[in-house]
Amino acid sequence: MKSSRSRSRSKNSRNRSNNSGGGNVVNRVFDSSGPEGKVRGTPQQIIDKYNQLARDSQLSGDRVATENFQQHAEHYMRMLSEAQKEIDARREEQERQNRERQAERDRERAQRQEQESNASSNAPSDDATDPANAPQPDVGGVNEAEGDSGLVETPESQPKPKRTRSRKPKPKPAAPDDSGSAPPEAAE
């Protein structure tokens, strides 16, 4: 058996969580204990039900029951209205933050574009920085038919001479003489 202290603590925390978080009230299902028994549904459904019960009791001539149903409906209308105000306030805050973020992005983009345009107007033109667009030396008066192209000769551009290996002739083997001995070797 639970103590009443723990039960009340959990009941209080449950009520606090239900009352906070107003956006959830709109779609939350409630059990309302009215004079005719329990009415279950979202706040809008409960409001509609109590208004219908109030009309029915008014048609039957019961002014006390009509007033009671109207008070129950008004309670849920206040809850719904308060939740809707909180939702609208949150939405407006988010829209304000989004507008501020967008304005900051626009300012940063404008600053970047301004810096790029300043950098491009202060920087030397592309013609001066690109060596291909730089003025070329005048090579007029050079007779290419004579073979003078004005280029500097480098070892890599000159044809490589053919390398020939000089070989020493191999000595021929001497034929043995009649004596059967080998000829004396020549002194070097």
CA-based angle 130:136:142, to the nearest 5?
155
| Annotated domain spans of the chain | 22-119
> Can you read off the two tokens belonging to residue 146?
């004579």
User: Within 10 A of 25 (CB to CB), how many other CB atoms are there?
Assistant: 21
3-state DSSP assignment of residue 38: strand
Taking the C-alpha atoms of residue 139 and residue 68, their distance in angstroms, rounded to an integer, is: 110
Which residues are paired to 38 by β-bridges? 33
- Is 32 in contact with 23 (CB distance < 8 Å)? no
Tell me: pLDDT of 146 over 60: no
Q: What is the pLDDT of residues 149-175, one digit of tens each?
A: 667 777 777 777 777 777 777 777 766
Most confident by average pLDDT, 12-21, 38-47, 140-149: 38-47
**Burial (CB count <10 Å: 0-12, 13-18, 19+), residue 50:** buried
Q: What is the pLDDT of residues 77-90, one digit of tens each?
A: 999 999 999 999 99
Spell out a b/e string for 135-152, using b for 16 or more CB atoms within 10 Å of the CB, else e.
Answer: eeeeeeeeeeeeeeeeee
- Is 43 in contact with 76 (CB distance < 8 Å)? yes
- Residue range 92-118: mean pLDDT, rounded: 93
User: How many Cα atoms sit within 13 Å of 1 on the Cβ side?
Assistant: 2
CA distances from 119 to 107, 110, 112 (A): 18, 14, 10
